[in-house]
A and B are shown apart, each in its own frame.
Chain A
């Protein structure tokens, strides 16, 4: 392909007037977008704005109702993703399509196997993978087993897989959602080196900081329509957020000075093992007082999950103790701890937070279904449950056609609002929240943050665990860093800096 001089934009992908409707919903409404060669084009929008739908059409997974798609000037009508791949389009999905028990090389050639007679020619595959990895600076070991790789490495495998199929238009669907801050930086370097070699990239995200860091141009979608196209130079986080949400967004959460009372949660020398029996919490201490938010920062996998589950009674401790409201609650059942006035917003929304097939109403009473209000003599009071659900849906602004709809029909953000509504209701003394806004859009994040602060102001002790440093910084009154199962250091939120916390997260040592 001929090299194009700087400044002359040559479109490799043109989407024009695309409309796609699903029963009852217009997912894309007359959407147009142009991707130029060597460009990083960010597709920004809230959950449910239609980003993935649009890209699934470009990748041949859906067919548009109307509108045209042109690849290098030629109109295309993909019947399936195979045809899109043949045209040089590659897509890295949010959830990797890799087989964990296969090696990197095997995964990369899967569906495109290099064979020698009836046998796989893995030597050639290995050489080709190495060559690709070298050329694009994507360090992957072709012989490593995918299941043993970190999430960041698996993502590189996905990229190499797309490049192996000669993709030069790459669609990356929320690629940073699963990465640690360090991995995100590495990833951006890779993406930029790719554009240096004539690859053109569509980057789907809802994280504003990333958009400004990496994008050349930005297209913002809202409710299936393009509401603006701009460049990274002229846009600001504020202007993008306002475009995305359609109103002014407050970033810095307004909150009063904390007024901490007596100790509510006290954890002493806690030791916990994970599912494989590896000790991931090893001697953790913390004290959270009424009316304060204690934020726990840390790279994921340093014991956060086990810590939270043990405090809430879901996982046994192998040593140490948990005390809540002056009582030793170590080894208590989740229900007993909940009855004490301890709410828990779980880290894993679909695994623990909701029963996907249940209605919104049933999910809203998932931990209170047996209370006298909702069940008399063992018979459920559906009228009371639905009345409560309607009230909560209203109060927490859950966007749904009705409380009897199955919860999996809601977007991730609205599902999370249902969980938050359920947990933040009732007579609370303590709140344990893990990754409360993961994968959510700006509007929902703002809403959930406000609710957490409201509870703090009412004297609830809040333990917040989050991988988002921004979230920890803007909500917490005190911040602890979890490093290899221990509290590596505690700082007052007013004195904390990103740099100091980042260092603690990476090394466990204070500067």
Chain B
């Protein structure tokens, strides 16, 4: 009893020391909880690994080398992370408008299948790359935008909650494209020359140039998605449209009062949100796969939720969070190979990161991080305002 109490106090003291150090050295106020959530998840994951009889340091060392152990590993990690930027951005943008877009998973599929379809059109090969590549990316973006826009319209016109409608639309597109790609009679999108179910390969002209021949391939899509993050940061923080999105997200009643067309902002935000997922999918189809397979984007939309929350919906922080996410997945096989620790352990650590970010009270308690925006006026002034 006493021993446990002492150990707890010790951990607490150490944690708050860490906090004080970071506070003085780096000033990372808004991202503290995320940083500590990661730290804490690795600690708990380490305990887990030692329970299965492996030295956690050995395992983590292998994981780290798998992530960033050399040029190929780094390139592979970055390549693995690129599409996560898009799916996280989709979540983050919708969050800003007060919408919970659970449908990035489906919007990726809609964007991916549209991009693959357009990329494989016979006349694509007659076009120069400078036309064909933007075309395939725009096609995917539009596919995602439409699939994201539908729940937006449903919300605006009928009040249907986007969480429900996006989940439904996820299933619709998931089984829809699966059938389209699998079916031999009739043939819809299936490449009949292939033994595995997939679409026709896209035209050579629509392939995004390769940067590094890593596993998976690192391609120019990286610049598109990193660039979009900065565009979104500017859009949200500096433009009139961004102001409308933020206002609707924080207080739709006041937005209506102030003359903002709330329904239009909701539809636009959902469409823009879906377009980021669509772009991510198109860039993968074009730069990595060269065709569409139903399982390609499995879980990528849901991982986007975790990454967006980890980055506190900050579009630039999403780049870092997505890099961490993708590299962990990219490095896990080496950990399995060398330390005999299942890849699933990385998935468990990632799930814990999300858990600790969502239940941030745990992290705040442990590391003694105070709530942001703490003001003695808060309670009384808001009371007085009703």
- Determine whether A44 belongs to the interface, using a CB cutoff of 8 Å to chain B: no
In the complex, A415 Cα to B382 Cα: how many Å? 10
Cβ-neighbour of B257 out of A95, A353, A375 (below 8 A):
A353
Contact A379 B377 (CB under 8 A): no
**For window 325-371 of chain B, which residues contact chain A by CB distance below 8 Å?**
none
Contact B239 A379 (CB under 8 A): yes
Cβ-neighbour of A314 out of B257, B377, B386 (below 8 A):
B257
Given A352-B253, A354-B254, residue A95 in contact with residue B261 (CB < 8 A): no
Given A410-B377, A411-B377, A411-B380, residue A380 in contact with residue B251 (CB < 8 A): no
Interface centre among B240, B383, B385 (most CB of A within 10 A): B385
Contact B386 A362 (CB under 8 A): no
Chain A residues with CB under 8 Å of B238's CB are: 379-380, 382
The interface-forming segment of A47-55, A152-160, A318-326 is A47-55
Contact B240 A378 (CB under 8 A): yes
In the complex, A251 Cα to B239 Cα: how many Å? 45
Contact A334 B250 (CB under 8 A): no
Chain A residues with CB under 8 Å of B376's CB are: 22-23, 25, 27
Contact A415 B381 (CB under 8 A): yes
Contact A353 B254 (CB under 8 A): yes
Chain A residues with CB under 8 Å of B243's CB are: 362, 369, 380
Chain A residues with CB under 8 Å of B380's CB are: 47-48, 52-53, 411
Chain B residues with CB under 8 Å of A408's CB are: 375, 377-378, 381-382, 385
In the complex, A47 Cα to B382 Cα: how many Å? 12
Contact A355 B381 (CB under 8 A): no
Chain B residues with CB under 8 Å of A353's CB are: 254, 257
Chain B residues with CB under 8 Å of A338's CB are: 259
Nearest chain A CB to B39 CB, angstrom units: 28
Chain A residues with CB under 8 Å of B382's CB are: 350, 356, 408
Interface centre among B240, B242, B258, B383 (most CB of A within 10 A): B258
Chain B residues with CB under 8 Å of A370's CB are: 240
- Determine whether A458 belongs to the interface, using a CB cutoff of 8 Å to chain B: no
Contact B259 A334 (CB under 8 A): yes
- Determine whether A507 belongs to the interface, using a CB cutoff of 8 Å to chain B: no
Contact A356 B259 (CB under 8 A): no
Nearest chain B CB to A343 CB, angstrom units: 12
Chain A residues with CB under 8 Å of B375's CB are: 22, 408-409
Contact B383 A366 (CB under 8 A): no
* A380-412 contact mask (Cβ, 8 Å, vs B): 1 or 0: 101000000000000000000000001011111
Given A406-B373, A410-B377, residue A378 in contact with residue B256 (CB < 8 A): no
Nearest chain A CB to B239 CB, angstrom units: 5
Cβ-neighbour of B384 out of A22, A352, A356, A412 (below 8 A):
A412
In the complex, A350 Cα to B253 Cα: how many Å? 10
Contact A349 B259 (CB under 8 A): no
In the complex, A378 Cα to B377 Cα: how many Å? 35
Interface centre among A22, A95, A366, A378 (most CB of B within 10 A): A366
Chain B residues with CB under 8 Å of A22's CB are: 375-377
Contact A346 B386 (CB under 8 A): no
Given A375-B240, A379-B240, A412-B385, residue A351 in contact with residue B254 (CB < 8 A): yes
- Determine whether A231 belongs to the interface, using a CB cutoff of 8 Å to chain B: no
Nearest chain B CB to A25 CB, angstrom units: 6
Cβ-neighbour of A380 out of B239, B247, B253, B260 (below 8 A):
B239
Closest to A439 in B: B384
- Determine whether A124 belongs to the interface, using a CB cutoff of 8 Å to chain B: no
Chain A residues with CB under 8 Å of B253's CB are: 348, 351-352
- Determine whether A333 belongs to the interface, using a CB cutoff of 8 Å to chain B: yes
* A1-40 contact mask (Cβ, 8 Å, vs B): 1 or 0: 0000000000000000000001101010000000000000
- Determine whether A41 belongs to the interface, using a CB cutoff of 8 Å to chain B: no
Number of A-B contacts (CB under 8 A): 114
In the complex, A139 Cα to B253 Cα: how many Å? 37
Closest to B377 in A: A409
Contact B259 A335 (CB under 8 A): yes
Nearest chain B CB to A370 CB, angstrom units: 5
Chain B residues with CB under 8 Å of A429's CB are: none
Nearest chain A CB to B272 CB, angstrom units: 14
Chain B residues with CB under 8 Å of A94's CB are: 383
Nearest chain B CB to A369 CB, angstrom units: 5
- Determine whether B21 belongs to the interface, using a CB cutoff of 8 Å to chain A: no
In the complex, A366 Cα to B384 Cα: how many Å? 21
Chain B residues with CB under 8 Å of A362's CB are: 243
- Determine whether B241 belongs to the interface, using a CB cutoff of 8 Å to chain A: yes
In the complex, A351 Cα to B254 Cα: how many Å? 6
Contact B385 A378 (CB under 8 A): no
In the complex, A39 Cα to B258 Cα: how many Å? 48
Interface centre among B238, B259, B382 (most CB of A within 10 A): B259
- Determine whether A357 belongs to the interface, using a CB cutoff of 8 Å to chain B: yes
Nearest chain B CB to A377 CB, angstrom units: 9
Contact B251 A355 (CB under 8 A): yes
Chain A residues with CB under 8 Å of B251's CB are: 351, 354-356
Cβ-neighbour of A366 out of B240, B254, B378 (below 8 A):
B254
Closest to A47 in B: B384
Chain B residues with CB under 8 Å of A68's CB are: none
Cβ-neighbour of A411 out of B241, B254, B381 (below 8 A):
B381
Contact B254 A378 (CB under 8 A): no
Nearest chain B CB to A98 CB, angstrom units: 15
Closest to B382 in A: A408
Given A356-B251, A375-B240, residue A350 in contact with residue B257 (CB < 8 A): no
In the complex, A369 Cα to B378 Cα: how many Å? 26
Contact A334 B381 (CB under 8 A): no
In the complex, A333 Cα to B256 Cα: how many Å? 9
In the complex, A35 Cα to B239 Cα: how many Å? 56
Nearest chain B CB to A368 CB, angstrom units: 9
Closest to B248 in A: A355
* B227-238 contact mask (Cβ, 8 Å, vs A): 1 or 0: 000000000001
Chain A residues with CB under 8 Å of B241's CB are: 378
Chain A residues with CB under 8 Å of B384's CB are: 47, 411-413, 415, 439
Closest to B237 in A: A380
Nearest chain A CB to B380 CB, angstrom units: 5
- Determine whether A367 belongs to the interface, using a CB cutoff of 8 Å to chain B: yes
In the complex, A21 Cα to B238 Cα: how many Å? 37
In the complex, A346 Cα to B382 Cα: how many Å? 16
In the complex, A23 Cα to B375 Cα: how many Å? 8
Closest to A382 in B: B238
In the complex, A428 Cα to B256 Cα: how many Å? 20
Nearest chain A CB to B215 CB, angstrom units: 42
Nearest chain A CB to B10 CB, angstrom units: 26
Closest to B260 in A: A335
Nearest chain A CB to B76 CB, angstrom units: 39
Using a CB–CB cutoff of 8 Å, the interface residues on chain B facing chain A are 238-243, 247, 250-251, 253-254, 256-261, 373, 375-378, 380-386
Sort A-B residue pairs by CB-CB distance and give the 6 closest, nearest first: A412-B384, A22-B376, A335-B259, A352-B257, A350-B385, A367-B258
10 contacts between A and B (CB under 8 A): A335-B259, A350-B382, A353-B257, A356-B385, A362-B243, A406-B373, A408-B382, A409-B381, A412-B385, A439-B384
If A333-B261, A408-B378, A439-B384 are given as contacts, then 19 extra A-B residue pairs at C-beta distance below 8 Å, sorted by A number, are: A52-B380, A94-B383, A333-B259, A334-B256, A351-B251, A355-B251, A355-B254, A356-B382, A356-B385, A367-B259, A369-B240, A378-B240, A379-B240, A380-B242, A408-B382, A410-B381, A411-B380, A411-B381, A439-B385
